[in-house]
Chains A and B, each alone.
Chain A
Amino acid sequence: MYNEEELARPYARALAEAADALGVLDRVRADIEALALQWEACEALRDWCRAFRSQPRAAHKAEVAALWGDSFAPQTRMMLEALAVNGALAVIPHVVTAFRRLADSRQGRVAVSLVFAADPAAATVSALTERAKAAYGPGTAVTVTVDPALGAGLIVRAGNKQIDGTLVGRLRRLRRAFARSE
């Protein structure tokens, strides 16, 4: 009844907490990004991990050690071993996603995305990017996309906050206000 995302979350949380407490969050984050790339690139790895699901065995701990060896920080390795012992290696992609979120919030990193209704002027984009970096730090990642369905205007998302200045958003608010009064 538990889904993979729920299964993965405690592993990601434990890893983020431990790494943060030991001051190795950056190192572990690099491990996790590397792991994500491996998962993406290597079909054999994916198959191997998925095969674990139905046959949890302590011996697999050794196999994990053999596979990833010294390439990862001890915390990352311990987390992978725990996954292996519990036959849960298949949830690695969910661990990656959850870990990224948790690490972001621990490191105060904010992802900023700008969604324009029409192709923006380069000057507008660079001005907004500057503002974002000024507010959230020079390392802030800013993504820019265009969605003509928005009609006109712009949506800015930073972390969990959204500023909606689009025509579509304005119409939606109007429609809801009416729906409520009915």
Chain B
Amino acid sequence: MNSQLKPDELAALLRQRMEQCDRAVDTTEFGTVLSVGDGIARVDGLTGVMYNELVESENGVAGLALNLEEDVVGVAILDSDVNVREGDRFHRTGRVVSVPAGPALTGRVVDALGRPLDGKGPLVGTEPMPVEAPAASIIERKNVNTPMQTGLVAIDALTPIGRGQRELIIGDRKTGKTTIAIDTILNQKGSDVHCFYVAVGQKLSTVAALYRQLENAGAMAYTTIILANASEPAPLQYLAPYSGCAMAEYWMNRGGHALVIYDDLTKHAQAYRQMSLLLRRPPGREAFPGDVFYLHSRLLERAAQLSDAKGGGSLTALPIVETQANDISAYIPTNVISITDGQIFLEAGLFHQGQRPAINPGISVSRVGGDAQLKAMKKVAGPLRVMLAQYRELEAFTSFSSDLDAGTLDQLAVGRALMQSIRQKPGAPMPVSHQVALLYAGTHRALVGIPEIRLQEAIAALFNAIGSTQTGQAYAARFAASPVLDDELNGLLEKLTAEALGPFSKR
């Protein structure tokens, strides 16, 4: 980036900067550090400071003014606190914390203040965006109307997500939460969606592996990683989601589209709890401070599908929450569930049975995304939900009974095949046309006769046919032209599934 700046542009930039700040005398208000520890400084004298205002020490350490008491201000230090000592002065800046945003961020790994962590040089030509910003009002929004395809058939069919939506991914540890988010990013390849992955409180090695995965898949070409790992001071972990959101808003405000993943808000809330205890805020339920609800509501409210008058941009949010032993009634899960437009619930039990992604279709919902779903998808997904629900009921029931009639056995077989068919490996997003063909096959009993061990092979053959056989190509062309499940498309799907799956059937 740096090398692309022409000398005359550089000169102009320099001149502009000099003019902006070349006041010979600078008047500021300051406070004196009374004590410092665990990333929090208690500062005396910052009388006029605003909540969330950026303050700076004389040796350049940045801080966030948080607790405004009568005569002492709590400052969260956004660097290592070893550079702050008792008696140091913090000066007001009059600005709230902002982060750099714009195209220069794409492909980069930055910290919660937007400082590069990837050694790829400085960010040039960015625009500052405030980390805290008001959410779009009702009149500035319109209904969600465009799908945000995850490429995961189970989600796109059962809990479809629309651009501008907030869909929670929730489950115990190691149930595939991050994988769903990453697959969704991978599936945005070739689209106009800018992706932001905010890693809060994770191990550096985990995020490094994730970066390599995105890089190898060519997904860093449209993705930014905002990293505040577990060893960073709590204030930076607290700030990171807001920073990622601000960077995404840059695109939404320009009529563009952004997807932000917050991985995860449980660790975010823990960082905030730690900070709040240090700031001597009275702890409440589960020792979280009273305003922890507002912590996440003000973040997630910034997701939006803007109205046409506002440019029609969108910001989709996929927050992740980790549960303990599937307990969604804990404080943070309850809060975030109530803020979002639905949740994808992952279950350790399913995960260990090999049902991956381990989505529990019974309690996973998407309250607004259905409106954005493609017509054909909606049509095939409708029966799927019902059939899966029946299957779950039957399955529970049959575990108590040994002699089952033929009808029940048949229903079980159909359901089992359906559950099998919506299993999906990580890193293999599925185009919608494939998803529709697969679900058509599943809900029209075309998968029932196939032995379980050959099912994945059969599905692969079905997808292969879409690109190679005459019927498959006709289907693909017709789907691309008009994804409506009318008689013509139905006919093509029937023929396609019969041709491609027939050879695998026992019967």
Q: Beyond A5-B34, A101-B44, A182-B123, is A177–B26 a contact (Cβ under 8 Å)? A: no
B18 and A163: CB pair below 8 A? no
**B178 CB within 8 Å of chain A:** no
Q: Please determine whether B126 and A182 come into contact, CB atoms closer than 8 angstroms.
A: yes
Asked if A177 and B31 sit within 8 Å, CB to CB, the answer is: no
CA distance in complex: A163, B37 (Å): 29
Query: Do A178 and B25 have beta carbons less than 8 Å apart?
Result: no
Min CB distance A80 to B, Å, is 22
Determine if B25 and A165 form an interchain contact, defined as CB atoms under 8 angstroms apart.
yes
Residues of the A chain whose Cβ atoms lie less than 8 Å from the Cβ of B56: 176
Question: B15-35, CB under 8 A of A: which get 1 and which 0?
Answer: 001101111111111110011
- Report whether A160 and B25 are in contact in the complex, using a CB–CB cutoff of 8 Å: no
Contact with B along A163-182 (1 / 0, CB 8 A): 11100011011101110111
Q: How many Å lie between the Cα of A120 and that of B264 in the bound state? A: 57
The residues of B that contact A50 with a CB separation of less than 8 Å are none
A160 touches B26 (CB 8 A): no
Measured as residues with beta carbon below 8 angstroms from the partner, the interface class of chain A is: 20 to 34
Question: In whole angstroms, what is the CA distance A162 to B56 when docked?
Answer: 13
Interface residue from A13, A160, A164, A181 paired with B126 (Cβ < 8 Å) = A181
Is A53 located at the chain interface by the 8 A CB criterion?
A: no
Report whether B22 and A174 are in contact in the complex, using a CB–CB cutoff of 8 Å: yes
Chain A residues closer than 8 Å to B37, beta-carbon distance: 3
Kindly identify which residue among A6, A159, A173 contacts B35, using a CB–CB cutoff of 8 Å.
A6
The answer to whether B255 has its CB under 8 Å from any CB of chain A is: no
> Is B35 a contact of A163 with CB atoms below 8 Å?
no
CB contacts (< 8 Å) of B100 on chain A: these are 180, 182
CB contacts (< 8 Å) of A6 on chain B: these are 35, 42, 280
Select A162's contact among B28, B44, B123, beta carbons within 8 Å. Answer: B28
Closest CB pairs A-B (n = 10): A177-B21, A165-B25, A160-B45, A5-B35, A182-B122, A164-B26, A173-B21, A3-B35, A5-B34, A177-B17
Instruction: List 15 other contacts, CB 8 Å, given A174-B22, A182-B122.
Output: A101-B45, A105-B71, A160-B45, A161-B28, A161-B30, A162-B27, A162-B89, A164-B25, A173-B21, A173-B26, A174-B21, A176-B56, A176-B60, A182-B123, A182-B126
List, sorted by A's number, 20 A–B pairs whose CB atoms are closer than 8 Å.
A3-B37, A5-B34, A6-B35, A9-B72, A101-B71, A105-B71, A161-B29, A162-B27, A162-B29, A165-B24, A165-B25, A165-B26, A170-B24, A170-B26, A173-B23, A177-B17, A180-B98, A180-B100, A180-B128, A181-B17
Write the residues of chain B forming the contact surface with A, with a CB cutoff of 8 angstroms.
Answer: 13, 17-18, 20-31, 34-35, 37, 42, 44-47, 56, 60, 71-72, 89, 91, 98, 100, 122-124, 126, 128, 280
Residues of A bordering B, CB below 8 Å: 3, 5-6, 9, 13, 101-102, 105, 157, 159-165, 169-170, 172-174, 176-178, 180-182
